[in-house]
């Protein structure tokens, strides 16, 4: 069966420090991968998605970047964190089928606090 | 551009009462819609999709293209239905979904 992992679960970082959040998927090949930020009252904001290794689509201009160095690995990064980067970050995968993007499987999330 | 609107941030109902979580969408193409649910301390998960026309945990949702709506309904609310519900629209060349802001359902015992 397929599983998705995210780490760390929680992270406290000072302003101006770098960030690296990792997401890995097991039990499937060539999944679509997604990074979201979840905020109360604002729902799920799609940050990045990837349909293959090295293929990244950015949804909103921001202080973050994403990379997919391996088929089942998705990394969210920042060179210098801002206070506004605080939030709850979710990784998800979906099967590569017609319309498969609607069937998304979410990780446990990372709570990032920038101080 | 595609948009999903969930007009209620919080919906409180008594146990045994009917539930209707509203969702309206805006999309120029042929819509495919979904409902996701997040129970307390659990991961966000897919509840149902309109194309399957299924009933999950007593919930149903019908796509109304004329009203551009996809409301989630259940005839009798149960306490375990308390959760955050998100409506989602498949978009972007069918490679991503657009989520609404979510509605928190609170079932009062």
Model confidence pLDDT, tens digit, residues B92-104: 666 788 999 999 9
Instruction: Specify the range with the lowest mean pLDDT, choosing from A1-10, A88-97, B23-32, B91-100.
Output: B91-100
Beta carbons of B49 and A41 less than 8 Å apart = no
Q: Which of B7, B75, B78, B89 is nearest to B39 (CA)?
A: B78
B79 has which bridge partners?
Answer: none
Q: How far is A20 from chain B (nearest CA, A)?
A: 21
Residues A58, A66: Cα–Cα separation, whole Å: 8
Task: Give the pLDDT mean for A81-106.
Answer: 87
Mutate to test the interface with B, among A104, A107, A109, A111 (most CBs of B within 10 A): A104
Mutate to test the interface with A, among B44, B47, B92 (most CBs of A within 10 A): B44
Task: Give the pLDDT mean for B66-85.
Answer: 96
Residues B47, B60: Cα–Cα separation, whole Å: 10
Q: How confident is the model at residue A10 (pLDDT cuts 50, 70, 90)?
A: very high
Alpha-carbon Rg for chain B, nearest whole angstrom, is 13
Residue pLDDT, tens place only, A11-61: 999 999 999 999 999 999 899 999 999 987 788 999 999 999 999 998 886
Contacts of B25 in chain A (CB under 8 A): none
Phi-psi category of residue A114: left, alpha or beta, with phi > 0 → left and psi -120 to 50 → alpha? beta
More confident call, A107 vs B31: A107
Write phi, then psi, for A113 (nearest 5 degrees): -120, 120
* Minimum Cα–Cα distance from B92: chain A residue: A101
| pLDDT attached to residue A99 | 63
Contacts of A102 in chain B (CB under 8 A): 32, 34, 49, 88, 90, 97
Contacts of A89 in chain B (CB under 8 A): none
Distances (CA, A) of B86 to A24, A68, A80, B42: 24, 27, 32, 14
Residues A81, A89: Cα–Cα separation, whole Å: 14
Query: Helix, strand or coil for residue A102?
Result: helix
Is B5 an 8 Å CB contact of chain A? Answer: no
Give percent of chain A above pLDDT 70.
Answer: 96
Q: How confident is the model at residue B54 (pLDDT cuts 50, 70, 90)?
A: confident
Q: Angle at the Cα of A30 (from A64 to A89), degrees rounded to 5?
A: 30
Residue B24 pLDDT > 90: yes
Strands in A27-86 per DSSP E: 32-39, 43-52, 55-58, 65-70, 73-78
Q: How far is B43 from chain A (nearest CA, A)?
A: 6
Beta carbons of A46 and B98 less than 8 Å apart = yes
Residue A5 pLDDT > 80: yes
What integer best gives the mean pLDDT of chain B? 92
| pLDDT attached to residue B31 | 85
């Amino acid at each position: 069966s397929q599983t998705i992992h995210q780490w760390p679960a929680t992270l406290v970082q000072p302003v101006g420090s770098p960030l690296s959040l990792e997401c890995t998927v097991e039990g499937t090949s060539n999944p679509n991968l997604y990074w979201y930020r979840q905020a109360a009252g604002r729902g799920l904001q799609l940050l990045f998605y990837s349909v293959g290794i090295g293929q990244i689509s950015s949804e909103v201009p921001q202080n973050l970047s994403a990379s997919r160095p391996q088929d089942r690995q998705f990394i969210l990064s920042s060179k210098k964190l801002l206070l506004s980067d605080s939030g709850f970050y979710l990784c998800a995968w979906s099967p590569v089928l017609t319309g498969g993007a609607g069937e998304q499987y979410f990780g446990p999330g990372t709570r990032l606090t920038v101080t | 551009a595609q948009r999903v609107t969930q007009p209620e941030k919080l919906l409180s109902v008594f146990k045994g009462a009917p539930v209707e979580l509203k969702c309206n969408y805006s999309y120029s193409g042929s819509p495919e819609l979904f409902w996701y649910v997040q129970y307390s301390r659990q991961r966000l998960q897919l509840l149902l999709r309109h194309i399957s026309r299924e009933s999950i945990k007593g919930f149903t949702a019908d796509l109304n293209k004329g009203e551009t709506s996809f409301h989630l309904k259940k005839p009798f609310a149960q306490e375990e239905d308390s959760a955050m519900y998100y409506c989602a629209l498949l978009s972007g060349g069918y490679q991503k979904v657009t989520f609404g802001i979510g509605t928190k359902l609170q079932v009062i015992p």
